[in-house]
Amino acid sequence: MNAATTKSWLSYILRSVLLGIVVAALVIWAMPLLEAWQAKRQQPDEAFSFATAVNRAAPAVVNIYSMSEQRGSYYNRRNNSVLRLGSGVIMDNVGHIITAAHVVANVSSVQIALQDGRQTSAQVIGIDNVTDLAVLRVELDNLPVIPQNDELRTRVGDVVLAIGNPLNLGQTITQGIVSATGGRMGVINSHADLLQMDAVINEGASGGALVNSQGYLVGINNAQFRGPAGQGVEGIYFAVPYTLAKGIMRTLIEEGEVVRGYLGIQTSDSVPNSRNYQRPGIFLTGVDEGSPAAQAGLQPNDYIVDIAGEPITSAADGLALISNTRPGVELAVTFFRGDEELTTTVTIGKLPN
């Protein structure tokens, strides 16, 4: 074997040894990672949980205890104090709390209990009976604030959690799914669309938080649907949407009341079969005596198709337009009376509280 051949073999052996050392080092380095991956594969999947959402939102949901006076009876002339239960949601770090209006309406005192054990009295800032919302304020530091995201939009099918204090059992979470995000007007004497879901809301949970699976506030819990005889219907509950509740809160804080436009009409989803009623509009089943609608000449069975030059896309949108118009503003209204198309001008009034 000549010198050149010997040198070539030595070079080959050296490269092989170095390659073996590199491969061995890589195997030694990767072995712990491979063992960890194998161990993870052998472990059962983690249980699906909403614990993160609850931990983020639940501290900001408070228990509300309000006292009202009940007049005495014929046999007992003394007034009785009645305890009313409810829940509320801390909306900012200066102490503003949203709750349901029926929790704190016509009460003599309001007490708040936080989940960290603190208790204090609360001041009623304002009440809006139309949306059944009220704003309270407490004087406390280091308040937990409910997570909020103005960009979120609740969709049918979203999973939601209702957090409140039902029957004074302590904070309780129920879970459900959103079945409607609009078109539920009138459930709480409101012109506003409501969220419908099947997360249970029992007495004492009204005014609590409805949050999504990430813990963000999507609504203020309000009511269970009741049938014609007043009986509760299982699986149908309502909440005021977050964006509406936040707007009402801001108005009550800044102005003390929510002023809405008033036309004075009753409407129905049942529309007579007529070619003039095939387009979207508002069918009038009644007109309040002395109301702006009556003064403008509107009558029952009229069908409004245009307000202020804007076609009515739905009865809900038309009523919302009226509600959002300041009292005293004049609006042109186009409507059908039978086969005749007419136009009148209405002066919007102030919706009675």
Active site residue 191: no
Q: Are 131 and 222 in contact (CB under 8 A)?
A: no
Nearest partner of 90 among 57, 119, 126, judged by Cα: 57
In the set 66, 87, 206, 323, the catalytic residue is: 206
Name the catalytic one among 66, 128, 132, 323.
132
Q: Which of 66, 87, 96, 102 is catalytic?
A: 102
Opening angle at CA 150, ends 146 and 156, nearest 5: 95
Q: Cβ contacts of residue 187 below 8 Å, gap of 6+?
A: 194, 223, 225, 238
Under a CB-based contact definition with an 8 Å cutoff, are residues 239 and 100 in contact?
Answer: no
Cα-to-chain-centroid distance, residue 338: 40
Q: Under DSSP, is residue 174 helix (H, G, I), strand (E, B) or coil? A: strand
DSSP three-state, residue 316 = helix
Q: Is 73 annotated as catalytic?
A: no
- Residue 206 annotated as catalytic: yes
**DSSP type of residue 223:** E
* Nearest-angstrom CA–CA distance, 282 and 295: 18
- H/E stretch holding 250: helix 242-255
Q: Which residues pair with 230 in a beta bridge?
A: none
How far is Cα 300 from Cα 288, in angstroms, rounded to an integer? 10
In terms of Cβ atoms closer than 10 Å to its own Cβ (0-12, 13-18, 19+), residue 99 is buried
Residue written as token pair 């409507």: 335
| C-alpha–C-alpha distance, residues 83 and 98, integer Å | 19
- The CB density around residue 226, as the number of other CB atoms within 10 Å, is 12
Residues serving a catalytic function are: 102, 132, 206
